[in-house]
Amino acid sequence: MSIYEEISSALQQGRKPKVEELVQQAIDEGMSPKVILEEGLLSGMAIIGEKFKNNEVFVPEVLIAARAMNAGVAVLKPHMAESDMVNKGKVVIGTVKGDLHDIGKNLVKLMLEGRGITVVDLGVDISAEDFVQAAIDNDADVICCSALLTTTMNEMKAVVEIAKEKGIRDKIKIMVGGAPITQHFCESIGADRYEVDAASAADTALELCSA
Ligand code: B1M
């Protein structure tokens, strides 16, 4: 097994100290930080995302794997040039106004980061105006809105409308998700994409960022 595969495997098992040790070992052996990141850490996280999508692993395993990934990235970071950082696009993410549920939104964030996307996390209870302003301020490629309540999901329509008012609708993609959201709802409010789970959301965000 190559050291990259060992890192990926330890990450999938959520073995934080082992990931830190292996990343340090790879650095000491002169491996490229960019390759350690892509072939070890990000590839391990992509496998976890796929397993999560297929119900082979569940929320706790994803959180533990993400913690291991973050620890590995922290060991790697001082050794990486700015140009080594994987930057596959930028998204702003949040849970819509009136809604405090953030477990699903946080999972989407982890999966996005695991794919090398820069994430600006706005938190919960975010107004449509704040989503759009944050997208402008951060020059984001995608706005990601999460909602868990039928009483708050209509705030997503306001995000689409305000993006139009502010003149950025043709420059930004809007993705929506969360338990009450459906493909039909996404189309009815004029958002670009709906995704059912965190791993699919990360796949779609990558696609939207590179479009
Ligand atoms: Co609340 N709650 N809750 N709750 N809660 C639900 C959502 C509810 C279905 C429970 C029920 O009645 N059966 C119900 C909503 C009913 C409805 O609207 N039809 C409900 C209610 C009513 C409420 C309160 C109003 C209760 C009250 O106070 N009377 C209140 C509202 C507070 C508020 O937000 N203003 C409330 C409060 C809470 C807690 C604070 C106690 C807590 C939230 C803690 C937190 O998030 N930090 C909570 C919880 C935990 C739940 C349940 C039990 C679990 C939600 C969850 O985290 N699921 C939920 C019932 C249930 O779903 N079984 C319920 C796990 C999470 C991983 O899944 O968020 O769906 P989920 O995310 C998935 C996908 O949806 C998707 O990816 C994730 C993983 O793959 N996804 C996206 C999510 N966002 C995405 C974005 C994307 C793409 C995919 O693209 C941008």
What would the pLDDT profile of 78-91 be if each residue is shown by its tens digit?
A: 887 665 666 789 99
Give the H/E segment covering residue 26: helix 16-28
Same domain? For 149 and 115 the reply is yes
Same domain? For 126 and 77 the reply is no
Sheet bearing 142-146, strands edge to edge: 118-126, 90-96, 142-146, 173-177, 193-194
Ligand 1 center to 146 CA (angstroms): 10
Same domain? For 103 and 203 the reply is yes
Which domain-ending residue is among 24, 55, 83? 83
Residue 84 has what pLDDT?
63
Residue 85 has what pLDDT?
65
Q: Is 102 in the pocket of ligand 1 (CB under 6 A)?
A: yes
Same domain? For 17 and 47 the reply is yes
Residue 165 has what pLDDT?
97
Rounded to whole angstroms, the Cα distance separating 127 from 117 reads 23
State the total domains in the chain. 2
Same domain? For 122 and 19 the reply is no
Rounded to an integer, the average pLDDT of 123-148 is 98
pTM over 0.85: yes
Same domain? For 110 and 50 the reply is no
Q: Which of 15-24, 78-87, 117-126 has the lowest mean pLDDT?
A: 78-87
Same domain? For 100 and 187 the reply is yes
Same domain? For 158 and 109 the reply is yes
Rounded to whole angstroms, the Cα distance separating 144 from 135 reads 10
- Which residue's alpha carbon is nearest to atom 20 within ligand 1? 149
Which domain-ending residue is among 83, 103, 120? 83
Same domain? For 178 and 194 the reply is yes
Q: Is 208 in the pocket of ligand 1 (CB under 6 A)?
A: no
Q: Is the pLDDT of residue 206 over 80?
A: yes
Same domain? For 113 and 198 the reply is yes
* Residues of the domain holding 144: 90-210
Domain of 33, CATH number, reads 1.10.1240.10
Same domain? For 55 and 114 the reply is no
Q: What is the pLDDT of residues 136-176, one digit of tens each?
A: 999 999 999 999 999 999 999 999 999 999 999 999 999 99
Rounded to whole angstroms, the Cα distance separating 181 from 124 reads 17
